[in-house]
C-alpha cells in the first residue's frame, strides 16, 4: 500500500516546515503499518494555475504530482493556517485536483474512488477546524473517502502564538491524534481494497 503526503507549506526547501514536522508523526505510524510513504513539498514545484490534470503551460509540474496521486491509496494533505484558512498552496493543489472529477477508471469509477484522505494542520493562530473542513470537503467532492477522524492539528490559540517547532506544549495530543489518524486511514484503505466501491449508478 502506498501513501502520498502533499505538504502545502509556504516555505521552500530546505527551510524547516512546522507542517511537515507534524505530518512526520502520521508518516511514522503509516510506515509502522507497512505503508510506503512519499512526501512532496508542493511549493518547491512549479504548479501552474488551472483545473486540469494535463500541463497548464510550459514547465508545469502538476502532471507529475497527478501521477503520484493515482499511484497512492492514501493521501495526506498538510497545510498551515493563514488568516484562518488553508494556505494558498493548498488551494492551488485542490484546484488542480479538480481535474480528477472528469477522470474514470476502466470500470467507470471516478479515479479518486477507493482512495482515502486525511488532513494535517499547523499554525500559530486558531482556525484549524475550519482548514480541516475546507480541505476535507474538497477531497470528498473529488471522490476520496474521509475516515473519521482523519485529521490532526497543532496550535496554541486563540490568537497568534509560537510555532510547532518552537514549543512542546500540546504536542502529545497532536501526536496521539496523528497516530490515530494514520491507523484509521490505513484501516479504511485496506477495507476499500478488499471491498471496493463500484461505479456510481447512472
Q: Do the Cβ atoms of 40 and 7 come closer than 8 Å?
A: yes
- pLDDT at residue 66, as a whole number: 98
Q: Which of 76, 87, 65 is nearest to 24 (CA)?
A: 76
CA distance 93 to 55: 13
Phi, psi torsion values for 64, nearest 5 degrees: -65, -40
Q: What are 95's three cell numbers?
A: 484546484
- 159 pLDDT tier (thresholds 50, 70, 90): confident
Phi, psi torsion values for 18, nearest 5 degrees: -60, -40
CA distance 172 to 112: 32
CB atoms within 10 A of CB 87: 24
pLDDT > 70: percent of the chain: 100
pLDDT at residue 164 above 90? yes
- pLDDT at residue 160, as a whole number: 79
Map grid coordinates 466501491 to a residue. 197
Structure confidence by residue, pLDDT tens digits, 73-113: 999 999 999 988 999 999 999 999 999 999 999 999 999 99
- pLDDT at residue 145, as a whole number: 98
Q: What are 132's three cell numbers?
A: 480541516
- pLDDT at residue 161, as a whole number: 83
What lies within 8 Å, CB to CB, of 42 at 6+ separation is 6, 7, 8, 65, 89, 92, 93
Q: Do the Cβ atoms of 42 and 7 come closer than 8 Å?
A: yes
**71 DSSP β-pair partners:** none
**104 DSSP β-pair partners:** 110
What lies within 8 Å, CB to CB, of 100 at 6+ separation is 53, 66, 69, 110, 111, 112, 142, 143
Q: What is the pTM of this model?
A: 0.96
Q: Do the Cβ atoms of 10 and 44 come closer than 8 Å?
A: no
Q: What are 67's three cell numbers?
A: 501521477
Q: Which of 109, 121, 131 is nearest to 23 (CA)?
A: 121
Amino acid at each position: 500500500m502506498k501513501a502520498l503526503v502533499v505538504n502545502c507549506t509556504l516555505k521552500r526547501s530546505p527551510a524547516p516546515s512546522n507542517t511537515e514536522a507534524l505530518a512526520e508523526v502520521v508518516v511514522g505510524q503509516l510506515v509502522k503499518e507497512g505503508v510506503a510513504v512519499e512526501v512532496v513539498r508542493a511549493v518547491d514545484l512549479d504548479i501552474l494555475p488551472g483545473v486540469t490534470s494535463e500541463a497548464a503551460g510550459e514547465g508545469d509540474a502538476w502532471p507529475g504530482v497527478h501521477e503520484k496521486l493515482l499511484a497512492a491509496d492514501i493521501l495526506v494533505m498538510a497545510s498551515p493556517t493563514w488568516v484562518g484558512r488553508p494556505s494558498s498552496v493548498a488551494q492551488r493543489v485542490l484546484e488542480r485536483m479538480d481535474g480528477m472529477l472528469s477522470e474514470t477508471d476502466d470500470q467507470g469509477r471516478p479515479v479518486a474512488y477507493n482512495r482515502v484522505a486525511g488532513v494535517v494542520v499547523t499554525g500559530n493562530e486558531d482556525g484549524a477546524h475550519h482548514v480541516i473542513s475546507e480541505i476535507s470537503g474538497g477531497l470528498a467532492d473529488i471522490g476520496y473517502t474521509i475516515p473519521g477522524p482523519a485529521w490532526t492539528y497543532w496550535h496554541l490559540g486563540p490568537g497568534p502564538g509560537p510555532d510547532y517547532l518552537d514549543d512542546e506544549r500540546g504536542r502529545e495530543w497532536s501526536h496521539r491524534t496523528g497516530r490515530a489518524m494514520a491507523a484509521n486511514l490505513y484501516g479504511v484503505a485496506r477495507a476499500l481494497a478488499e471491498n471496493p466501491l463500484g461505479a456510481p449508478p447512472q
